[in-house]
Amino acid sequence: MRDQAEAAGDDTGELDGLIAELDQEISRSGLRGKADPTRSRPRRHRSTRRRQDAPDLPKRKVSPRTIGKTYTAPDGKTFRPSMFLTLTCPSYGRVKEDGTPADPASYDYARAARDALHFAALFDRFTQNLRRVLGYDVQYFATIEPQRRLAPHAHLAMRGTISRAELRQIIAATYHQVWWPSTDVVHFDGDYLPVWYEARGGYLDPATGELLPTWDEALDAITDADQPRHVARFGAKFDAQGVLAGSKDSTRCIGYLTKYLTKQLGDCHHPETDAQRAHVEQLADALRYEPCSPTCANWLHYGIQPQPPRPGLVPGQCKGKAHRYDYLGYAGRRVLVSRKWSGKTLADHRGDRQAWLTEMLGLRATDPTRYRWEQVQPEDEDYMPPGHRLLRSVSDRLQWESALAEARRRAQNALAAEVSATGRAA
């Protein structure tokens, strides 16, 4: 009531007095409990029991190894095969060869949008289940790419092998439940939008003047009797190929994965026909008011304040990457690599890059034992302000790039000259 009166510009002095008297009466009666500063917000309980529609998975004790099983051929040679997997999203409706829906009216764009938003979390759950079933810390290198129908799918190179039967079982048993507040009812739309109230640091309902529920309050309202807002799953179709090191298949798979290192998600497919452009528009429209994260401005559309609330938020105008045309709902990392994939630490990788760069530029490697590193202090003679250091770093980086480009040009010229001389000798 006070918030409504203050929002309308009325005097709240009388209300403040009544509220103060009411607080005194409550304190005098002993109904108000004392706050315990050592207690935090009650912990929310979510059932960890597996869904009844998901099969159980066999669990093995995970050993610390990171490589798969080694096989021995009759001639005594040993080999350790790997696998190249492709995981897809489920079907949202029949599609044509160009990826557009055969019947756009029945195509489930809402589910496609939510699956794309939570695809990264679903992939993480798959790798967890994969390691539990195989019994070792499986290492992988994966890239995410949109299909022609614009649904994301994952290409995964893993160390070790698994039978198709077990792989099919893992895919069927893998799911990700999204325990977010319900978005079934739209509270604010068009010109009827919540109002930012600076004094309370939140958004008010313009009709009632009451603060909207906070993100924590909306989560607390979810009970065990409620269903998750969304359950993400993989599709039943997958592709699995065994790969041996040094074979043509391994070279092809490596090339297929690494070509995505420098490509954006939106560069994979460009709409060329009216049907493809309409398909993109409808998927973008389904993502417009779909909350992408707890901080998404779209929660105001459903009468809930984002976490944290901040002024200037407008439903349908979230700045998150998932709502952009180039990302098609997937805002996670494009390349996913397990930490022990290369068997090296970050320091090892930095050392390898430094050694490669010094060799390419023809520089001598410095001896770290000849130098002592100390942090520069403001009273030192060679101290530079942050702005000057930034300009110096940019200048150094430009010089390095120019020197590296020149070194590569010389190496290419030398290789071309060698090939020409070999041709003349032949």
**Look-up of token digits 């528009």:** 281
Residue 2: per-residue pLDDT: 47
**295 alpha-carbon distance from chain centroid:** 14
Q: Give the range with max mean pLDDT: 167-171, 249-253, 381-385.
A: 167-171
- Which of 320, 247, 222, 328 is CA-nearest to residue 285? 328
Q: What is the mean pLDDT of residues 354-361?
A: 75
Confidence of residue 4 (pLDDT cuts 50, 70, 90): very low
Lowest mean pLDDT among 34-38, 167-171, 412-416: 34-38
pLDDT in tens, 58-75: 778 888 888 888 888 888
Taking the C-alpha atoms of residue 251 and residue 261, their distance in angstroms, rounded to an integer, is 16
Amino acid making up residue 133: V
**DSSP per-residue letters across 7-53:** HTT---HHHHHHHHHHHHHHHHHT-SPPP-TT--SPPP----SPPTT
Residue pair 307/220 in contact (Cβ under 8 Å)? The answer is: no
| Band of residue 424 on the pLDDT scale cut at 50, 70, 90 | low
pLDDT in the model for residue 373: 63
Question: What is the model's pLDDT at position 35?
Answer: 41
Closest among 49, 328, 1, 337 to 175, alpha carbons compared: 49
> pLDDT digit string (tens) for 239-286?
988 888 878 888 888 887 877 666 666 666 778 899 999 999 999 999
What pLDDT was estimated at residue 109?
Answer: 94
329, 146 Cβ separation under 8 angstroms: no
Instruction: Give the pLDDT of residue 14.
Output: 52
- End-to-end CA gap in the chain: 95
In this model, does residue 125 exceed pLDDT 90? yes
pLDDT at 126 over 90: yes
pLDDT per residue as tens digits for the range 217-246: 999 988 878 889 999 999 989 998 888 887
For residue 123, is pLDDT > 60? Answer: yes
d(CA 268, CA 152): 11
Query: What is the average pLDDT value for the chain, to the nearest integer?
Result: 81
> What pLDDT score was predicted for residue 377?
84
Please compute the mean of the pLDDT values over residues 283-298 and round it to a whole number.
93
Percent of the chain with pLDDT over 70: 81
pLDDT for 26 equals 53
CA–CA dist 82, 157 (Å, integer): 7
Closest CA to 179 of 220, 123, 128: 220
pLDDT tens digits, one per residue of 10-42: 444 455 555 555 555 555 444 444 444 334 555
Which strand (E) or helix (H) includes residue 204?
A: strand 202-204
Q: Which residues contact 233 (CB under 8 A, 6 or more apart)?
A: 90, 122, 174, 175, 176
* Angle in degrees, CA 145, 159, 117, rounded to 5: 30
* 162-175 mean pLDDT: 91
Handedness of CA 190, 191, 194, 198 (dihedral sign): positive
Contact between 210 and 219 under an 8 Å Cβ cutoff? The reply is: no
DSSP 101: B
